[in-house]
């Protein structure tokens, strides 16, 4: 393999994470295969000083302000001229030979636009990690899930997902993607700032006929929640607002009334659930997210029109189930094992 790959880590006040995880990355990344790039998103800690002192051979891109996950990566990748780029979170531990299988797979399959490795938990390396697990899907109401992770329930890795599989979305925690396709689809949506922006981008890619694969021959370990913990109200706000926006941007017209009516009731039920659990700030975050979404829709009308025009299929892309995950999993199935009930899925445009 020639050096046609850039590994890009977006850093914001993550000096401790860099200190913990860069050694394994450097050790397991031959310089003749890939370059390592750290894009600093306006950190106020000593991240930049630490990098300049201890890793002078790592390419450093510095921004004056925090552009968020989406904006930071868009700006960083605009300075990359390699064929492939790897979006890698700063809290990911890579393993020996983690680069080989994904790069060889992309080389051999020009119709594959992006690849995700198997993502296991850094804190419990026998289990999958929330942000991506063994590849991501959606239900038609916008609820994300993965092979190995449904809602917050995580499976043990017993090799049940060790075969490559076509997926709807690859995790932004560790995503191998062709630079050309990244920018042709518009990159990450900067208004999202953080959370679910990679799902939105992958939906656009899939709708335009591109394929995305989870390749479990490569494994990484992810800490997760290093920026915002799962109960932080800002995370609740971003997840709900961004999820509604990705539906508005990408959902075919024939599903609009059904989906958004369902979400109206489901979201306010989620807000009530937060209230009953003694988390009123999170409940307000859900209400605020819906309000912000309604105000922002007008700015996305032209973007939605463009997405529909560029779609090669007027239905949902493969990787979206035509039923409610919330209803079928929470009420009917109630098992954390994706492998047991995946055969009951009716995937859109399943081939």
What DSSP line would sit under 148-197, residue for residue? TEETTEE-B-SSTT-S-EEESB--TTEEEEEHHHHHHTT-S-GGG-SSSH
- Taking the C-alpha atoms of residue 326 and residue 140, their distance in angstroms, rounded to an integer, is 11
Mean pLDDT of 67-84: 95
Q: pLDDT: is 176 or 343 the higher one?
A: 176
The pLDDT assigned to 340 comes to 55
CATH superfamily of 5-222: Spore Coat Polysaccharide Biosynthesis Protein SpsA; Chain A (3.90.550.10)
58 alpha-carbon distance from chain centroid: 25
Q: pLDDT: is 325 or 25 the higher one?
A: 25
What average pLDDT does the chain have? 92
pLDDT band for 12, please (50, 70, 90 cuts): very high
Q: Are 255 and 246 in contact (CB under 8 A)?
A: no
Q: Is the pLDDT of residue 269 over 60?
A: yes
The pLDDT assigned to 225 comes to 61
Q: Are 307 and 298 in contact (CB under 8 A)?
A: no
DSSP three-state, residue 36? strand
Dihedral sign from CA coordinates of 19, 21, 24, 30: negative
Q: pLDDT: is 322 or 202 the higher one?
A: 202
pTM: 0.92
E strand or H helix at 48: helix 47-54
Q: Are 188 and 73 in contact (CB under 8 A)?
A: yes
The pLDDT assigned to 1 comes to 47
DSSP three-state, residue 345? coil
Q: Is the pLDDT of residue 334 over 60?
A: no
DSSP three-state, residue 97? coil
| 182 exposure class (CB count in 10 Å sphere: 0-12, 13-18, 19+) | buried
DSSP three-state, residue 145? strand
Q: Could you give the percent of the chain with pLDDT greater than 70? A: 91
* Per-residue CA distances from 231 to 120, 246, 282, 286, 321 (Å): 21, 22, 8, 12, 27
Over the stretch 215-253, which tens digit does the pLDDT of each residue have? 999 999 999 864 555 678 999 999 999 999 999 999 999
Matching residue, tokens 């914001």: 12
Q: Is the pLDDT of residue 346 over 80?
A: no
- Taking the C-alpha atoms of residue 234 and residue 246, their distance in angstroms, rounded to an integer, is 18
The pLDDT assigned to 194 comes to 87
Over the stretch 112-160, which tens digit does the pLDDT of each residue have? 999 999 999 999 999 999 999 999 999 999 999 999 998 888 999 999 9
- Taking the C-alpha atoms of residue 298 and residue 177, their distance in angstroms, rounded to an integer, is 31
Over the stretch 37-73, which tens digit does the pLDDT of each residue have? 999 999 999 999 999 999 999 999 999 999 999 999 9
Nearest CA among 64, 294, 300 for reference residue 190: 300
pLDDT band for 11, please (50, 70, 90 cuts): very high
Nearest CA among 235, 204, 166, 213 for reference residue 310: 204
Mean pLDDT of 315-331: 82
The pLDDT assigned to 313 comes to 84
Nearest CA among 28, 11, 190, 199 for reference residue 114: 199
139 alpha-carbon distance from chain centroid: 16
The pLDDT assigned to 151 comes to 85
Nearest CA among 131, 136, 120, 121 for reference residue 213: 136
* Cα atoms in the 13 Å half-sphere on the side-chain side of 133: 29
Mean pLDDT of 188-204: 95
pLDDT band for 341, please (50, 70, 90 cuts): low
Q: Is the pLDDT of residue 350 over 50?
A: no
Over the stretch 248-268, which tens digit does the pLDDT of each residue have? 999 999 999 999 999 999 999
For 40, phi then psi, to 5°, come to -90, 125
Q: Is the pLDDT of residue 351 over 60?
A: no
For the chain, counts of helices (H) and of strands (E): 12, 14
DSSP three-state, residue 249? helix
The pLDDT assigned to 126 comes to 96
| 328 exposure class (CB count in 10 Å sphere: 0-12, 13-18, 19+) | middle
pLDDT band for 347, please (50, 70, 90 cuts): low
């Amino acid at each position: 393999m020639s050096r046609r790959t850039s590994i890009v880590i977006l850093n914001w006040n993550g000096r401790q994470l860099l200190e913990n995880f860069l050694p394994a990355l450097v050790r397991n990344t031959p310089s003749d295969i890939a370059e390592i790039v750290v894009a600093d998103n306006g950190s106020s800690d000593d991240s930049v000083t630490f990098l300049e002192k201890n890793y002078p051979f790592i390419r450093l891109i510095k921004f004056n302000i925090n552009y968020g996950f989406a904006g930071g990566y868009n700006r960083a990748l605009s300075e990359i001229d390699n064929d492939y780029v790897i979006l890698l979170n700063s809290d990911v531990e890579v393993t020996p030979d983690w680069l080989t299988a994904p790069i060889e797979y992309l080389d051999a399959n020009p119709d594959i636009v992006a690849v995700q490795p198997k993502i296991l938990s850094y804190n419990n390396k026998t289990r999958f990690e929330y942000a991506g697990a063994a590849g991501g899907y959606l239900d038609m109401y916008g609820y994300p899930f993965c092979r190995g992770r449904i809602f917050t329930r995580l499976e043990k890795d017993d090799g049940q997902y060790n075969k490559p599989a076509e997926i709807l979305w690859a995790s932004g925690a560790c995503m191998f993607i062709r630079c050309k396709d990244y920018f042709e689809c518009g990159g990450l949506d900067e208004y999202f700032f953080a959370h679910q922006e990679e799902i939105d981008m992958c939906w656009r890619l899939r709708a335009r006929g591109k394929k995305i694969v989870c390749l479990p021959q490569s494994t990484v370990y992810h800490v997760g929640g290093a920026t915002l913990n799962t109960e932080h109200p800002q995370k609740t706000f971003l997840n709900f607002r961004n999820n509604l926006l990705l539906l508005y941007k990408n959902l075919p017209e024939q599903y609009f009334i059904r989906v958004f009516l369902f979400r109206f009731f489901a979201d306010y039920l989620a807000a009530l659930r937060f209230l009953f659990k003694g988390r009123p700030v999170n409940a307000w975050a859900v209400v605020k997210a819906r309000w912000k979404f309604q105000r922002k829709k007008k700015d996305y009308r032209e973007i939605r029109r463009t997405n529909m025009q560029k779609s090669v299929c007027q239905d949902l892309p493969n990787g979206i189930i035509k039923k409610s995950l919330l209803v079928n999993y929470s009420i009917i199935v109630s098992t954390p094992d994706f492998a047991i009930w995946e055969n009951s899925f009716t995937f859109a445009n399943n081939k």
